[in-house]
Amino acid sequence: MMRKLLLKQNLLIKKLSISLFALIISTNTFGQSPEIFSTAGTYSWVCPTGVTTLQVECWGAGGSGGSATAAVGRAGGGGGGGSYVKNNFSVTPGVSYTIIVGAGGLQGLTTSAGVNGNPGGKSEFSGPSISTLTASGGAAGSGATSQNQSGPGGLLGGVYGVNITSSGTANSGTSSAITTISGGGGSGATANTSLSTGVLSYITMTSQGSGYTSVPTVTINGDGTASAVVNFDIDAGASLVTKGVSGSNGVLSTGGGAGGAGGNGGAGGAINNVQGTVGAVGIAPGGGGSGGYASASSAKGGAGAVGKVILTYPVTLPVSLTSFSAQKQSLSVQLKWTTASEANNSHFDVERSADGKVFNSIGRKSGAGNSNTIIDYSFSDHHPAAGTNYYRLNQVDLDGKATLSNPISVNMGFEGLAMQIFSSSNASDLKINIAADKESSGQFIIYTVSGQKIVEQSLSLTKGNNDFSISMPDLGSGVYIATYKNETQSINKKFVR
C-alpha cells in the first residue's frame, strides 16, 4: 500500500493561502456578428435564420477635389466628406435586402468643362417593409480656372453640387450667366456660374437650400446656352446622422483645398501646396480628396474615398456558460464550469497559459450536444506551472466552429522548492515530486540515517511540478533521507520505506 509521508522540510517554504478565482460569465447567450461591406458596388444580403433585429450603419463616399487648369498658382477646392447614418430595423429571416456601397468621386478633368471634381456616391440599405437608409456622398470640389471654391459635404434635404455637362459654344464675354434652380419640392438653393473665352467655365453652389425631395431643374441663361446636372442625395431613414465636413477653399498661389472628413469616418486629403501636383486622396470611409494645385501644367484633384456599410445583429451562441472557476488544491488546480443550455456542442478544450497570451490545450471534456438543463463540468490540472496560471475554455461545435471563454487565473506560488515522497515497502521504485519556482540542475541523493549514500544522480528541474522515479536498492525497511541541491537551493525530506 502506497503511503504519502509529509515531514518537516529543512527549507522554509512560504505559506501560501489557497485562493479561489472565479469568473461568472454572462448568462446572455447572444453575441454580436458584424458584416462589413467596404468595396463599392451593389450587394444582395439575405437575412440569416433567427435574426429579427438589425443595426445598419452607412457611410457615404467622399467627393474628389477640384482640378486646376494650366496657370501658375491656381488651386482647386477640396471635395466634401460623405455623411454617416445609423438606424435599427426589424427584419425577416430569409428575405433579401439590398446594400449599396458608394464609390468615391473620381478625379475630374483639366478642361474648362470638366474642371470640377466628382461627387461621392451614396451608400444605402433598403428592402421590403422597411424605410430606406441613405448616407449621401460628399460634394465635388470646385475647379480652378479663375475661381477657387470648396466642395461642401452632403446636407440633409439640400442640393450639394452641380456639374457641367455641356459648356456651350455661343456664350460670349466673361460676365456671369444667370442660373436658376427650381422644382424638387424645396427652396433656397443657388449657384454661381462664370464665362471664360466664350464658354461656361465653372458652376458652384453658393447655398444648399433645404426641403428637397427630388432633383430640381437647373437652367443656365446667357448669350448662349449650357447645361448642368445636379448632384442630389438626401440623408434619409436615420435615427442618427453625422454630416460630412465641407472641403476647404483652394487658395490662389497657396495651395489646393483640403478634403473634408467623412462623418464618423476617414480624414480628408491633406492641403496640396506643391505646384503641379495632383491632390491627395481621401481616407476611407468617406474622406474627400484635396484640390489640385497648378503650375504651368494643369493638376487634377485627388479622388474621394469609398463609402462603407456595416450590419450588426445578435447571434445565438451554442453554449450558455453561467460560471467558470479555478481553485488551487495543493499541487494541482481544479477547474469547474456550468452550462445552462447547449446547442450542437461537441466538446470543450481546456487551455492553459503562463502569460495570458499564448494558450495551449491541456485536456478535453465532451459536451452534451443539445441540452436545456444545467450541466456541471470539472477538470483537474495536475501539472500547473509555478506562479500564475491562466485558463480558458475553447468550446467547439459539432460543425467545428469554436468560441473562447474569457480567461481566469490562479497563482500556484512554488516559491523555492517543495518535495514529496511516495514510497512502499513492496515497491522497488520511489515516486518523487519536486515543485520548483524556476529551472535548475543539481544532484538528487538518498542517504541512510547513518549517513551512508545509497543513491545519487543528476537531475534537471523545470519550473513547476517535476515527477520522476528512482530505483532503490533492496536494503529493507527503514528511515531514509532524500536530498536535492543545486548552486543556490537545497531541500531534504525524510521518508519511511
How many angstroms separate the Cα of 49 from the Cα of each of 93, 343, 402, 479? Answer: 5, 15, 19, 71
Q: What is the mean pLDDT of residues 165-185?
A: 64
Which residue would you say has higher pLDDT here, 385 or 89?
89
The per-residue pLDDT for 287 is 95
For residue 463, the 8-state DSSP code is: S
Residue 295 DSSP class = S
pLDDT of residue 481: 85
Q: What is the pLDDT of residue 278?
A: 94
* pTM, rounded to two decimals: 0.56
Q: Give the three-state DSSP class for 114.
A: helix
Write b or e for each residue in 293-303: b if 16 or more Cβ atoms lie within 10 A of its Cβ, otherwise e. Answer: bbbeebbbbbb
The per-residue pLDDT for 486 is: 81
The pLDDT score that the predictor gives to residue 494 is 82
User: Cis link prior to 314 (omega < 30° from 0)?
Assistant: no
The answer to whether the 320-411 and 417-496 domains have the same CATH topology is: yes
pLDDT the model gives residue 311 = 95
Q: Is the dihedral of CA 336, 340, 345, 346 positive or negative?
A: positive
How many CB atoms are closer than 10 A to CB 151?
43
Chain position carrying cell 478544450: 349
The kind and range of the H/E element at 461 are strand 453-461
Per-residue model confidence (pLDDT) at position 425:
57
Q: Domain map of the chain by residue range?
A: 32-161+233-238+258-315, 320-411, 417-496
**What is the separation, in whole angstroms, between the first and last Cα of the chain?**
11
What digits encode the pLDDT tens for the residues 197-225?
556 655 666 676 777 777 777 777 665 56
Return d(Cα 221, Cα 180) in angstroms, integer. Answer: 8
DSSP class of residue 356 equals: S
Residue 20, all three cell numbers: 479561489
Predicted confidence at residue 232, as pLDDT, reads: 65
* Rounded Cα gap, residues 22 and 334, in angstroms: 11
Is the domain covering 417-496 a CATH 2.60.40.2550 domain? yes
Rounded to the nearest integer, the mean pLDDT of the chain is 80
- The CATH class, in words, for 320-411 is mainly beta
- Calculate mean pLDDT across residues 359-388: 89
pLDDT at site 148: 46
With 80 as the cut, is the pLDDT of residue 14 above it?
no
pLDDT of residue 195: 60
Q: What is the mean pLDDT of residues 314-333?
A: 82
Residue 193 half-sphere exposure, CB side, CA atoms within 13 Å?
A: 29
Q: In degrees rounded to 5, what are phi and psi of residue 229? A: -125, 150
Distance CA 44, CA 55 (A): 16
Q: How far apart, in whole angstroms, are the C-alpha atoms of residue 203 and residue 220?
A: 10
**How many angstroms separate the CA atoms of 132 and 136, rounded?**
12
Radius of gyration of the CA atoms of the chain, in A = 38
Return the pLDDT at 233: 67
3-state secondary structure of 226: strand
- Average of pLDDT values for 287-315? 92
> What is the pLDDT, as a whole number, of residue 155?
44
At 234, is the pLDDT very low, low, confident or very high (cuts 50, 70, 90)? confident
For residues 390-419, one letter each, b for 16 or more C-beta atoms within 10 angstroms of the residue's C-beta and e for the rest, the string is: bbbbbbbbeeeeeeebebbebebbbbbbbb
CA distances from 497 to 129, 338, 406, 419, 471 (A): 84, 43, 47, 16, 13
- Tens of pLDDT, residue by residue over 377-420, are 999 998 887 678 899 999 998 888 888 888 999 987 655 677 88
Residue 16 has pLDDT above 70, yes or no: no
Amino acid letter for position 7: L
